[in-house]
Amino acid sequence: MSRRLSSDEMDQVFRKPQSADGEAAKKAVTYDFRRPDRIAKDQLRAIHLLHDNFARNLASSLSAYLRAYVAANLVSVEQLSFAEFTQCLPSPTCMVSLGMKPFDGNAVLELNPSLVFPLLEMLLGGSGKGARITREPTEIEQSILDALFRIILHDLKVAWQGVSNIAFSVEGRETEPQLLQMLSPNEAVVSIGLEIRVGDNTGMMNIGMPSIIVKMLRHRFDQQWSVRKSDSTEAEQRRILNLVKGAHLRLDARLQGPMLDVQDLLNLKIGDVLTFDYPASRPIRLLVNGRSKYQGHIVACGRKRCLRIEP
């Protein structure tokens, strides 16, 4: 049941609430216009699924390359400023600047030292169970890691092919996150964190991609994750038919007779007669590449026997 408010009650509703000490009960929340939310949450979920598949493929690739068990798990996908992204990285560390052709811009790929040096030991023939090292990798050690980065970038390219054909390439190396000046500190990046376990060693691999490039691909994400069903046109059907016309199939017409013991088979001699007991009126199955497809009856065509297919 509704009730009409009086003028005094309406004034009381719109009057700013005051606290006991006279201060406003509700305070304004500051908004930083330097960090606008450039990427929608549904697109972040799509990026999460994309890199979840990347983690599984990377675990298989590194396991085959290192000949050791490797597990990779996606830990986080979030949007940060470039300054916050670099502050979360250890110092020193192993970082590479990635080109993203055909787009103008660079991404960042970082491997923790707790993961880099066990991998180096395994690449050089060791077991990867050495002592923990926190120093920065040398130029020779970074060149040894090039093959490892090629595998990572190949799987990353395959993961992004459903959205865009991006050619990732190593354009620079750095060991101190604070010295990396490829983006402005306030520019937003999408931070992807993966936990990689190699034997008894565990470390993080972090990827930072410019949000502006990811935002440019939003319509590609919508096309990838939306399910669309459409009937093929007659021209498409004719094209597929022309492609399969030249294919070869194997046809078999078999008489499914009685079973025979191996002992009876071994006792067969020249002149023995086998009775299959297959009625002439029973249809014969026609197998196409080993699968039952049609049925028919044996007919005579001159001096040859043929199979007439029947409904």
Q: List the CATH number of the domain containing 280.
A: 2.30.330.10
Name residues whose C-beta falls within 8 Å of residue 137's C-beta, 6 or more positions apart in sequence.
94, 113, 116, 117, 120, 145, 175
What does the buried/exposed string (b/e) look like for 12-51 if buried means 16 or more CB atoms within 10 Å of the residue's CB? Answer: eeeeeeeeeeeeeeeeeeeeeeeeeebbeeebeebbeebb
Looking at the structure, do residues 139 and 63 belong to the same domain, yes or no? yes
Is 27 inside a domain boundary? no
Is 185 inside a domain boundary? yes
Quick one: pLDDT at residue 33?
Answer: 58
Looking at the structure, do residues 62 and 198 belong to the same domain, yes or no? yes
Quick one: pLDDT at residue 307?
Answer: 83
Is 104 inside a domain boundary? yes
Question: CA 84, 89, 90, 92 torsion: positive or negative?
Answer: negative
Quick one: pLDDT at residue 14?
Answer: 66
DSSP 303: T
What is the rounded CA–CA span in Å between residue 89 and residue 19? 44
Looking at the structure, do residues 118 and 259 belong to the same domain, yes or no? no
- Specify which residues 288 forms β-bridges with: 251, 291
Looking at the structure, do residues 178 and 92 belong to the same domain, yes or no? yes
Q: Dihedrals φ, ψ of 91, to 5°? A: -135, 125
Name residues whose C-beta falls within 8 Å of residue 80's C-beta, 6 or more positions apart in sequence.
88, 188, 189, 191
Is 275 inside a domain boundary? yes
Is 186 inside a domain boundary? yes
What is the rounded CA–CA span in Å between residue 99 and residue 117? 25
Looking at the structure, do residues 185 and 97 belong to the same domain, yes or no? yes
Per-residue pLDDT tens digits of the chain, which is 311 residues long: 456 667 777 677 666 555 445 455 556 666 555 554 467 777 888 888 889 999 999 999 998 888 888 899 999 999 888 888 988 898 889 999 999 988 888 899 999 988 888 888 888 888 777 657 778 888 888 888 998 999 999 999 999 888 888 899 999 888 888 888 778 888 888 999 999 998 888 889 999 998 888 888 877 766 555 444 455 678 888 888 888 888 888 888 877 767 778 888 888 889 888 777 777 778 888 888 888 888 888 888 888 888 888 87
**Number of structural domains, the chain?**
2
Looking at the structure, do residues 210 and 290 belong to the same domain, yes or no? no
Looking at the structure, do residues 290 and 181 belong to the same domain, yes or no? no
DSSP 72: E
Looking at the structure, do residues 115 and 191 belong to the same domain, yes or no? yes
For residue 58, the enclosing domain spans 41-225
Closest CA to 72 of 205, 191, 267: 205
What is the rounded CA–CA span in Å between residue 206 and residue 107? 11
Domain-ending residue, one of 225, 240, 268: 225
**Are 55 and 47 a contacting pair, CB within 8 Å?**
no
Is 191 inside a domain boundary? yes
- This prediction has a pTM of 0.59
Is 241 inside a domain boundary? no
Looking at the structure, do residues 284 and 189 belong to the same domain, yes or no? no
67: left (phi over 0), alpha (psi -120 to 50) or beta: left
Looking at the structure, do residues 221 and 254 belong to the same domain, yes or no? no
**Are 144 and 120 a contacting pair, CB within 8 Å?**
yes
Looking at the structure, do residues 148 and 270 belong to the same domain, yes or no? no
Give the E-state strand segments of the chain in sequence order.
Answer: 70-81, 94-101, 106-111, 167-174, 188-198, 201-210, 251-254, 284-288, 291-301, 304-310
Question: CA 228, 234, 237, 238 torsion: positive or negative?
Answer: negative
Quick one: pLDDT at residue 15?
Answer: 65
DSSP 3-state assignment of 200?
coil
Residue 164 buriedness (CB in 10 A; 0-12 / 13-18 / 19+): middle
Looking at the structure, do residues 66 and 203 belong to the same domain, yes or no? yes
Amino acid identity at 68: A
Is 284 inside a domain boundary? yes
Quick one: pLDDT at residue 12?
Answer: 74
